[in-house]
């Protein structure tokens, strides 16, 4: 797990059992400056035991890193918010998605032309990125460009995430995302993270939210949070 901290500022978290049948540990790591003359960063971390109750709890996990490189193994779902007007992605996180997976953008555009009636608030377009990773484009933003009011539609986001929860359960998948709906869509992350908690976390689905190193977002504090839960702004 520490090997995931491949750049300064990247974080990684996991629950690990180092001795078969032994105690489960919560492990958190942070990439720091490398030794002089070395390419890869050093990794520091903290390890703490988990009680049975803590091990079974599900909360949003916040990491420093790139959401287009979702951590972990097994089935994963990456989600992004798109608007209900533009057929190509030209702003925010979707630009990074288009750059990394150009075919995903082309498939989305073809879907809009072929299934115009489905391209509406609350709709989702699913794209297979590779064997263990799927992209869900959530149509939860009304229009685009400057606006006096946030363009995010919270009810549409709730409907979308309900469908994501169903798909994640069927596939046994974890869900990964940037801070959806709080960029170009202008949404309030405090509201959005509560929707994520209600629709995904309370259904037992693992959710990871990524902030790029150096971003100004504050990682959401947790009660009695460990090292990385509340320190990095």
Q: Where are the domains of the chain?
A: 1-57, 58-233
In the DSSP assignment, the letter for residue 118 is G
**Over 80: is that where the pLDDT of 217 sits?**
no
Percentage above 90 pLDDT, the chain: 67
Please state the rounded mean pLDDT for residues 3-23.
84
The structure tokens listed for 109 are 């555009």
Instruction: For strands 25-32 and 174-177, give the pairing.
Output: unpaired
The fold for domain 58-233 equals: 3.40.220
CA–CA distance, 218 with 120 (Å, rounded to integer): 32
pLDDT per residue over 186-206, tens digit each?
A: 999 999 999 999 999 999 999
The order of strands in the sheet holding 42-49 is 11-16, 25-32, 42-49
Burial classification of residue 207, based on how many CB atoms lie within 10 Å of its CB (0-12 exposed, 13-18 middle, 19 or more buried)? buried
Place of tokens 């960063």: 41
- C-alpha dist (Å) from residue 59 to 75, 131, 170: 19, 26, 20
- C-alpha dist (Å) from residue 170 to 15, 122, 165, 215: 23, 20, 9, 34
- C-alpha dist (Å) from residue 38 to 1, 32, 74: 20, 12, 31
**Over 60: is that where the pLDDT of 14 sits?**
yes
- C-alpha dist (Å) from residue 214 to 106, 145, 204: 31, 26, 30
**Over 50: is that where the pLDDT of 170 sits?**
yes
Q: Give the containing element (helix H, strand E) for 138.
A: strand 133-141
Going by pLDDT thresholds of 50, 70 and 90, the confidence category of residue 54 is very low
CA–CA distance, 36 with 53 (Å, rounded to integer): 43
């Amino acid at each position: 797990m520490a090997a995931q901290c491949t750049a300064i500022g990247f974080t990684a978290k996991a629950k690990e059992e180092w001795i078969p049948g032994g105690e489960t540990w919560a492990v958190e790591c942070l990439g720091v400056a490398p030794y002089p003359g070395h390419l890869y960063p050093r990794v520091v971390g903290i390890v703490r035991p988990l009680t049975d109750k803590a091990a079974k709890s599900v909360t949003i996990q916040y990491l420093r890193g790139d959401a287009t490189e979702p951590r972990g193994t097994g089935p994963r779902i990456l989600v992004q918010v798109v608007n209900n007007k533009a057929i190509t992605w030209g702003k925010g996180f979707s630009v990074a998605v288009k750059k990394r997976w150009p075919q995903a953008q082309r498939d989305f555009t073809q879907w809009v032309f072929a299934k115009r009636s489905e391209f509406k608030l609350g709709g989702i377009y699913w794209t297979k990125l590779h064997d263990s990773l799927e992209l869900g484009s959530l149509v939860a933003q009304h229009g685009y460009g400057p606006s006096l009011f946030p363009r995010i539609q919270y009810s549409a986001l709730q409907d979308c995430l309900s469908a994501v929860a169903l798909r994640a359960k069927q596939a046994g998948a974890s869900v990964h995302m940037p801070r959806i709906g709080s960029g170009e869509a202008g949404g309030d992350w405090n509201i959005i993270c509560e929707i994520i908690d209600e629709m995904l976390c309370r259904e037992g689905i693992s959710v990871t939210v990524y902030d790029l190193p150096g971003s100004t977002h504050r990682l959401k504090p947790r009660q009695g949070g460990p090292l990385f839960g509340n320190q990095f702004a």
